[in-house]
Structure 1
Amino acid sequence: MGARIEVVGLTKSYGDLRAVDDLTFTIEPGEFFGLLGPNGAGKTTALEMIEGLRKPDAGSVSIDGHDPWRRDPRLQRRIGVQLQSSAFFERLTAREQLVTFASLYDAPAERADALLAEVGLEDKADSRVEKLSGGQAQRLSIACALVHDPEIVFLDEPSSALDPQARRNLWDFLQGLSGSGRTVVLTTHYMEEAEVLCDRVAIIDHGRLLELDSPAALVRGLDAPTRITLAPEAIDEGAAREVGGVDEVTVYPDRIELSTRRPAEVLAELARRDALHGLSASGASLEDVFLQLTGREYRS
């Protein structure tokens, strides 16, 4: 299972806009790979070129030595694609939709029922697709991408429109896909999702690759302080500023937050002062890395 994907100098322009600018990276067989970036960064354009849905202006994509743009049926049968927005056959039920997709690949119809259960749509099997909610349609779209049991799976923002419970269930399902040896390529705006699922992530902006590494390695390289949060009654602002190792104190209506690069020292002092009420501590996250690399300005 799985496949090696090589992207070399991938470039795509629309008029004066360079949507993807000389992207180069490799995805290893069986890897869960994330492609991250703000709105308009070029993620979807890059993904569509890797999938073979869009022709590059320059550069190349190779999936186990095959060019996906050539539409080789032998390669296409190995690929499953979930698009950012999907269109279904009208007036079909969820199960009929999946059975139709399965028939295109000569996959057994029984696969449809198994997938409906796996994506939590068993009770919607006989519902017409136009009656599904946004989140249910998203899960059906993912099932359609997997109905022929592909080795390589491309997922473009699969958890958008899902509520927190459905998103967590989807993560469990996707981790199972990766655990079975498939190569999975994901775009997402949820940094926690990328941290949980991805072996490595590529962060891009303005079509260019900014960083590529595992989420943990990227977070370690940020050298960000630890944030220690306490209930407001645990310690007052003046006393908090006297704690050795504290670099910054921020007071909010419902909490007090201490920033430090020496968390063990600070926590030990707080314990000595019996000031641990409401304690929580958090280090840097992939979101912090993302914001440092791409900025905080609004993107349309």
Structure 2
Amino acid sequence: MLYGLDIGGTKIELAVFNPQLEKQYRERVETPKTSYEDWLNTIADLVKKADEKFGGKGSVGLGIPGFVNQTTGIAEITNILVADNKPILCDLSAILEREVRAENDANCFALSEAWDAENAEYPSVLGLILGTGFGGGFVLNGKIHSGQTGMAGELGHLQLNYHALKLLGWDKAPIYDCGCGNKACLDTYLSGRGFEMLYRDLKGEALSAKEIIQRFYAGDKSAVDFVGVFVELAAISIGNIITAFDPHLIVLGGGLSNFDYLYGALPKAYRRI
């Protein structure tokens, strides 16, 4: 059996597939933030439970919100601090007594979309995740382009440009620290938590993304104005990414991708840039 684990900042989800890639089982748990050992054990418990259910050791692959340096074997996962800069593949392989592989979650998402029968006509696919974090993956001719060290596609750590800062009001623009050590990374603006932080700092009220979107659809002026700014910010930032990759197809994933308004508003804003 094939075990795929989606490792997120808020949840870990296991999906089990048979050799025909038909989903047989899934389970979701919260991502522990207490310690690296708790994080490892949570993943191991999910895998061992699946082993018992299906009567054998399945092959294990992880989709992570970061990347594993192929030279050092160290993971860089700034959204999950307990696992950041840890040898996750070595440690999980030892616990589970089998090979464990990992790939950036946005790369996994982009590859899945590129391999979808509906998208087979597109030679290049750019996948963007607007979830707990913001990231991307680029697939060319059915293969992930991950670069020499695996850093290709770490789009969340590009930074706000001139036009984005101008939109946010120059000296009034909120500048956020990123877990990578830099400031003003796209991950801290275009992610779900960035959506919430921006609303708090621009509108003076702390709301969840769900509450902001509900207010937007109800016609609340503050929410409508804010979403307009967010769409412009996303269009500027994603526009730069499009310039670099020039993809045949762009697909969105993550929690904010469920905000249907974006699918009409983003292309219109991009064309205005």
TM-score by length of 1: 0.26
Higher helix share: 2
Higher strand share: 1
Larger Rg, first or second structure (1 or 2): 1
TM-score by length of 2: 0.28
Greater RCO (Cα-Cα under 8 Å, separation 6 or more):
1
